Amino acid sequence: MSAYRVIEINIKNIQSIVEGLKALGIPEGEIQVYQSQVFLTDYRGRRTKNKADVVVERRTIKRLFSNPYSSDIGFEMTKDGMRVHLSDYDHWWEKKKGKFFQTAAKNDLTLLAMQNGYSVQMKQNDGEKMVLSLVRNY
Amino acid sequence: MQHEIEVKIDETGNLECEVLGIEGSVCEVISAWLDQLGKVKEHSSTKDRYKDPNVLKNLTIRN
């Protein structure tokens, strides 16, 4: 090894938000992508709120995760990357955000790596640390 | 040029990236694309960074 970097990733691909939400157990059918926005829908396929950001309604989180302390949470994709909005202290998000960020970061990294000619393989994923191998053969 | 970049992702979304299989300053160039992912918090070179692969090729050991 010869070069070492630590990068604080800023999620830039909307598909990475979708993958992060799916990793938290939200069914794919409840995630709706519209232009640069992502909406979570209720079980009948309706948007929970018509806002410019992604909003998970209180009742949706309760239904999926049985967490009575959850509050509204939103994701907004700006030109500088993803921003997370919390209406107030959110136990659910504090518990789940690690897996969300890890999955979203993996997706952003994979997309960029493939654009640069690398193949991507998972070497380790033990729930705490995820290790990926990027290989370029030419 | 065949090489591998090993990336560790922690639960905050931070990436630790190391270039494997390459010696010399070229490793910094080939991994520069990773900087597009976000803000670089740390950037350093390991001891292999200072090895010149051309010098090693021409090295002859005499007894």
DSSP secondary structure string for all residues of chain A = --EEEEEEE----HHHHHHHHHHTT--GGGEEEETTEEEEB-TTS-BS---SSEEE-HHHHHHHH--TT---EEEEEETTEEEEEESS--HHHHHHHHHHHHHHHHHHHHHHHHHTT-EEEEEEE-SS-EEEEEEE--
Of B31, B37, B47, the CB nearest to A108: B37
The Cβ of residue B41 has, within 10 Å, a number of other Cβ atoms equal to 12
Confidence of residue B48 (pLDDT cuts 50, 70, 90): low
- Residue B54: pLDDT band (50, 70, 90) is low
Question: In the predicted model, what is the mean pLDDT of residues A103-113?
Answer: 96
The answer on pLDDT for A68 being more than 80 is no
Give the minimum alpha-carbon distance from A1 to chain B in angstroms, rounded to a whole number: 4
Output the pLDDT for position A65. Answer: 37
| Closest CA of chain A from B51, distance in Å | 9
CB contact under 8 A, A2 and B9: no
Residue of A nearest to B44 (CA): A4
ipTM over 0.90 threshold: no
What is the arithmetic mean of pLDDT over A114-133? 93
Q: Cα(A62)–Cα(A70) distance, rounded to whole angstroms?
A: 7
Crossing angle of the two packed helices A14-23 and A91-115, in degrees rounded to 10: 130
Asked if residue A108 has pLDDT above 60, the reply is yes
Mean pLDDT, chain A, whole residue set = 73
C-alpha gyration radius of chain A: 16
Indicate whether A134 pLDDT > 70: yes
Tell me whether residues A6 and B17 touch, CB distance under 8 A: yes
User: Average pLDDT for residues A12-34, to the nearest whole number?
Assistant: 83
How far is Cα of residue A82 from the mean position of the Cα atoms in its chain?
A: 9
- Which residue has better confidence, A104 or B21? A104
pLDDT level of residue A55 (50, 70, 90 thresholds): very low
Comparing A71 with A76, the larger pLDDT belongs to A76
pLDDT band, residue A132 (cuts 50/70/90): very high
Contact flag B38-A129 (C-beta cutoff 8 Å): no
Q: How far is A58 from chain B (nearest CA, A)?
A: 24
**From CA B39, how far away is CA A45, in angstroms rounded?**
37
The answer to whether the Cβ–Cβ distance between B13 and A101 falls below 8 Å is yes
